[in-house]
Structure 1
Amino acid sequence: MAQATFSIRMDEALKKRFDELCSEFGMNATTAFNIFARAVVRERRIPFEIKAENADSASVEGLKSFYALQDEARRNGIQDMPLSEINEEISRVREEGRIE
């Protein structure tokens, strides 16, 4: 099998820690990256979850909640409620003390 070179740049401290850990596993970084590449090709996906845990996560969660509410409105036949009715509903619920 023909070999190809693959170069990446990374933080020096991260590389040092990665090399040390790979050594503990009994391999070098090249072997580790080859294992990763084979897993990606075999599984046709990144073999672990990639997610952000920052302010953007709140936006994502907010969108999920919005879409869930949108689906519920659709199921209840109120997806086309005009803004004036939505505001009236919010005011009514606030007056009843159910939300602040």
Structure 2
Amino acid sequence: MAYCTVSARMDTEVKAEFFRVCEELGLSPSTAINMFAKAMIRKNGFPFVLQVEKPSQETMKAIEEAIEEKDLVGTFSTADDVMDSLNA
């Protein structure tokens, strides 16, 4: 089997984290990239779902209210305080 070199540009921090994760998994970066390429071939596309997660309307409303500082209840000291407020 003949081999070739593939070159890719990436952010320095991304590369460092990628190499770190590969090392933790006991893989070389080259092996990890080859695994990804083979998975793409098997799936005839990305081997994972590519999607943009969109917040629900209720979440968007809460975000907008927080930005506008509307209907803010206040700060809480404990998780129990939060739950008491939510259940009130």
Q: Is the pair's TM-score, using the shorter chain for normalization, greater than 0.5?
A: yes
- The code of the aligned residue for 1:5 comes to T
TM-score (norm 2): 0.58
Quick one: distance in 1 between partners of 2:35 and 2:24? 16
- Which has the larger helix fraction? 1
Pairwise CA RMSD: 1.7
Between the two proteins, the alignment pairs up a number of residues equal to 56
Quick one: distance in 1 between partners of 2:49 and 2:9? 22
Partner of 1:98: none
Partner of 1:9: 9
Larger RCO of the pair (alpha carbons < 8 Å, separation 6+)? 2
Larger radius of gyration: 1
Partner of 2:35: 35
TM-score (norm 1): 0.51
1:19 equivalent to 2:19? Answer: yes
Percent of paired sites with the same residue? 40
User: Unmatched 5+ residue regions in structure 1?
Assistant: 59-100
Quick one: distance in 2 between partners of 1:21 and 1:42? 23
- The code of the aligned residue for 2:20 comes to E
User: Unmatched 5+ residue regions in structure 2?
Assistant: 56-88
